Amino acid sequence: MKRVLITGACGSIGKQLAKRLLDDGEKVCVFDNNEDGLFNLKNEFSQFSKNLRVFLGDIRDEKRLIQAFNNVEEVYHCAALKHVELNEYNPFEAMQTNVIGTNNVVSAAIKNNVKKVLITSSDKAVNPSSLMGTTKLLAEKLAISANNQTGDNDVNIGCVRFGNVWNTNGSVGRIFRNQIINNKDITVTDKNMSRFFISIKDAVDLCIESCRDLIGGEIFISDMGAATIGHLANEFSKHNKKIKVVETGLKAGEKLYEELFTDVESTRTYVYQNMYVIIPDSLDPNNSRLDRLNKKYKVNKPIGEALRSDSVIAKKIDMSNMVKDIIDGS
């Protein structure tokens, strides 16, 4: 039985991750600045009261993190500001949470000798056009390079990258669902825009599997499928013949496609089980992790090219069942 802490535990992924770990018999500490969310989470998980501890706090406060991380063996860092447009107009707040907050998490983990730290990131960190993506890229860089700073402490830090997590708070699926329920036209910025999608379950699986395999310095990415927003909107419109799909133009920070990894990263990206793993290029040559990373992941040739959501090699997904599930409230 491990003692695990989750930041951002009131969010869609953090909450499901907490539930999975509690089901597995782990001792789980939930950390969030959402008082009502923590109160509701504690009541919802009352059957796990012996293995659940609740921390009200903010990742911007390193001292509070140091207190919360005491005797913790693994940290899943899910807390973040994630909405692209809001981040564009509130840049300092985004930096305070996504960059400085992540640095605080890493620093608190090192000071408490936490064995494993997994930072949740986004495909928007790849060649970012938005402020949110830029802050996520910086957070990744901070996390990976921190493996050079752990000294004699056995603290191993890595990242996972998600695409668009399906049916989460503020996700495109929920927005489209609300529009058709209220007989409003479905609004898309550009029908040709493409995105990678991952379910909450698969996102949680990726976190747990990545933390299990983590050596230190890796970026783990699920083999996600992609679809255009126009195709997704058309699937939703089938459930309300009265509405139409309307293009509104790109919002601040948006781009037409996303990438799971860049051309440069692809030269050190390998297929491992059901995921991609990017081996770091920023570790000190004398870092003892390098040999273990190479032996574990360099079994096959590197991918060798970027993977974009609009690429012919990107795995396509059938959105019809996913749309039906969200319409039915699943």
| Separation CA 210–CA 200 (nearest Å) | 15
| Separation CA 319–CA 237 (nearest Å) | 12
| Separation CA 148–CA 6 (nearest Å) | 24
Radius of gyration from C-alpha coordinates of the chain: 20
Residues composing the chain: 330
The residues facing 187 across adjacent strands are 246
What CA–CA distances, in Å, run from 157 to 24, 62, 191, 253, 284?
23, 17, 38, 29, 15
Helix H or strand E encompassing 180: helix 172-181
DSSP, res 255 = -
HSE-CB at 10 with a 13 A cutoff on CA atoms is 19
Could you give the residue numbers annotated as active site? 124
The H-assigned helical ranges of 26-171 are 35-44, 62-68, 84-89, 91-94, 101-111, 131-145
Residues 6 or more apart in contact with residue 78 via CB below 8 angstroms? 6, 7, 8, 9, 11, 13, 14, 17, 120
Reduced to 3 states, what is the DSSP secondary structure of residue 196?
A: strand
Reduced to 3 states, what is the DSSP secondary structure of residue 252?
A: coil
